[in-house]
A and B are shown apart, each in its own frame.
Chain A
């Protein structure tokens, strides 16, 4: 391999370093993932343990971020809540990526009636405001963890379908794809080996931005009592529980919201940074 060829193939971490915005986002997300993974180690208290002698204790001392109205440690609940909120959001975006990606690729590659049918289905999902559709699905399907995942996953599927369809349409007619077809490559090989690598960049950007929306949607559902159910802590239901006590104990409302905003900012920074990196024409 020649020198210039190796220089062009810099690894993703190295490229991230040259894009400080994306790197900042990646660092925030990394810290959150680490904190969620090591919640049992980092938590000073049991997130569900109630202590009647320490209700609504201000931050400091044995309770770094204070306690809630049942005397539960806020920091421990935020750490365990990170597991729920992040796991649900990741799972739902993976679902949307798989479903939307497959639908978009099939649509773009086969065209014709397949394209027409799949895209009309996506249009119908798109015709509902995201939060409203998620609320409606939760209302009828019940509030189990997997229904939250499906509800959010369905809502963000059309974006992935559109992005991957557009990518396939832009790549399908290129000479190297036609050359591969002429050499007898099957549809499966062409899609996986020749087309997918070329649409992965926009899909990665979409994944990051969808994750930020999924976290916001999960917390909104939990806030409305339609997502993660108490006593299991999630950032959204912690905010909901804080509403009656926030005048007395503002920390119960401030910390969960700040936690959500920070990690969502992380995904937005990463998404924005990656887009600038992968497609210099946009943003600027």
Chain B
């Protein structure tokens, strides 16, 4: 297992290197002079003063050197300084991380809560009207834009239920758990429904595949009751690969939080990035993109390891 973990972490290095290059280049491909962007159009300076500032900011060097400087600072937790607030970028991002993480986690919880029972039911009732309805429902769920679902929920639910749908009333979980969950419920549902459709389809086909196996037939042949065959023999093997799907969908969750936070005015990382984009505050944009990409990559490693832990065939295969 140790060798397996080491291998996975080692394979991570080129990806992380590539991610850092892409995020670095993203900002340096902005048309126009970075310094001019920073100063705005109000400040007039002599070319000599501009040159002095370039030297101070370290942007008079060639691009590879700037990249090396930047990565070096990343390792010290220095993600740059906001052009608007002049505050370091990283603490501001980390302060908003819990909001986005909670939203993603709740959405995943809701998705699993819907997908597992419905997917299992669909597989066990294969070919019936219920199965057909569930399959169509799954396809519809995949097709609805999450930000539109959010809009519809807001449209249908307000009035007496307004406390649930209150926008811009975010409270931290540890300050007021009930209030926090009430505010997070609609955003999490909007984000979770699509994911439920994805996972449900996967659960259904995975369970169908397992049910066709010899050992399931053997279990039935030796006279086990159906629920025991399903619970002890089929489900255990069918649900393990679902972990992988959840890993793939972490990207949907992390990207989706950006959009959903905007709809519900939640103070998460995504909203921070969107505000920064509208203010041309590129270091903040760069920081958020880097942090979310790192989270995504790490999630996938954790999922890989979890999968190997649950299914020894992966470790030794």
Contacts and interface: CB of A to CB of B under 8 A. Distances in A.
Interface string B123-151: 00000000000000001101111011001
Interface stretch (A34-42, A98-106, A169-177, A265-273): A265-273
A135 B15 contact: no
Nearest to B209: A284
Contacts of A279: none
Nearest to A267: B143
Interface in B7-59: 14-15, 18-19, 21-22, 26-27, 29-31
A124 interface: yes
Contact of B258 (A123, A135, A212, A257): A135
A131 B147 CA distance: 13
B81 interface: no
A139 B277 CA distance: 6
Interface residues of A, number: 48
A234 to B, nearest CB: 13
**Interface size range of chain B in the complex:** 35 or more
Contacts of A141: 29
B155 A239 contact: no
A38 B133 CA distance: 34
Interface stretch (A4-12, A184-192, A219-227): A219-227
Interface stretch (B177-185, B226-234, B249-257, B305-313): B249-257
Interface in A3-24: none
B19 A127 contact: yes
A131 B15 CA distance: 19
Contacts of A242: 151
Nearest to B256: A131
A231 interface: no
Nearest to B250: A129
A267 to B, nearest CB: 8
B139 A127 contact: no
B1 interface: no
B79 interface: no
Interface string A133-147: 101110111100000
Interface in B155-196: 155, 158
Given A220-B147, A257-B152, A268-B142, 16 more contacts: A120-B18, A124-B21, A124-B22, A127-B19, A127-B296, A128-B293, A129-B254, A129-B255, A130-B252, A131-B258, A135-B258, A140-B282, A223-B147, A224-B262, A247-B158, A261-B143
13 contacts: A124-B18, A128-B22, A129-B251, A129-B293, A140-B30, A212-B142, A216-B145, A220-B259, A225-B278, A239-B147, A253-B151, A257-B152, A261-B145
